Structure 1
């Protein structure tokens, strides 16, 4: 297991926030967000974060790199519901030469609803492990 990060419930511990409105299709028969959708919310926020810091995911692809998810962890604290606006916070939590971890906080109106972590590897487009881009490891050190 590579996951070593304990995600915070304090929004101040995160670098970036992204709002997502819950669509009806994302809810289950109990009228709450189905558990599988949180990983999609994390991905959407992670992609927005990378664009925000000037390294959009398209840049990774152009450089011949991928960042596959190796592990994920989600702790469901309170349910999210249709039409709520979720504020998903994200931070680069840790990085090694070839992996990095992102931590997440999902809140609604200031209330923590969900926390999570994703662990990513770095590979070539052919799936071979490779080092992270220098800007990412440097960003991890400077945080």
Structure 2
């Protein structure tokens, strides 16, 4: 297991936030967001974060790189519901030469709903493991 980050419950501890309105299709028969959708929320926020810091995922691909998810962890604290605007707070939490971890906090208004971490590797477009881009390792060491 590579996971080593404990997500903060404080929105201010995260570098970036991204808002998403919960769609009806993302809810289950109880009217709450189905657990599988939180990973999609994390991905949407992660992609927005990368664009925000000037390294959009399209540039990664143009450079011949991918960042597959190796592990994920979520802790559901309170449910999210249809038509709520969830805010996904995200930060680059850690990096080595070969992996990086993103930390997430999902809130509605200022209420904590979910926390999570994703661990990513770095591969070529052909799926061969490779080192992380130097800018990413540097950014993690600054955090």
TM bucket, shorter chain: over 0.9
4+ long deviations beyond 3 Å? none
TM-score when normalising by structure 2 = 0.99
Deviations 1:11-37 (A, max 9, x none): 011000000000000000000000000
* Residue 96 (structure 1) aligned with residue 96 (structure 2): yes
- Tell me which residue corresponds to 1:76: 76
In structure 2, the residue matched to 1:131 is: 131
Structure 1 position 15 matched with structure 2 position 20: no
Unaligned 5+ residue runs, structure 1? none
Structure 2 distance, partners of 1:142, 1:90, is: 15
SS of corresponding position for 1:130:
coil
Residue aligned with 1:55, SS: coil
Q: What TM-score do the two structures reach when normalised by structure 1?
A: 0.99
How do 1:57-76 and structure 2 match up within 5 A?
Answer: 57-76=57-76
Distance 2:109 2:126 in 1: 43
SS in 1 for 2:127: coil
Deviation at 1:142, TM superposition (A): 1.2
- In 1, the alpha carbon distance for the partners of 2:142 and 2:116 equals 22
Q: Corresponding residue for 2:110?
A: 110
RMSD between superposed Cα atoms in Å: 0.3
- Is 1:52 equivalent to 2:45 in the alignment? no
Partner of 1:24: 24
User: How many angstroms does 1:93 deviate by?
Assistant: 0.3
Q: 1:26-70 deviations in whole A, cap 9, x for unaligned?
A: 000000000000000000000000000000000000000000000
Task: Tell me the distance in 2 between the aligned counterparts of 1:98 and 1:58.
Answer: 20
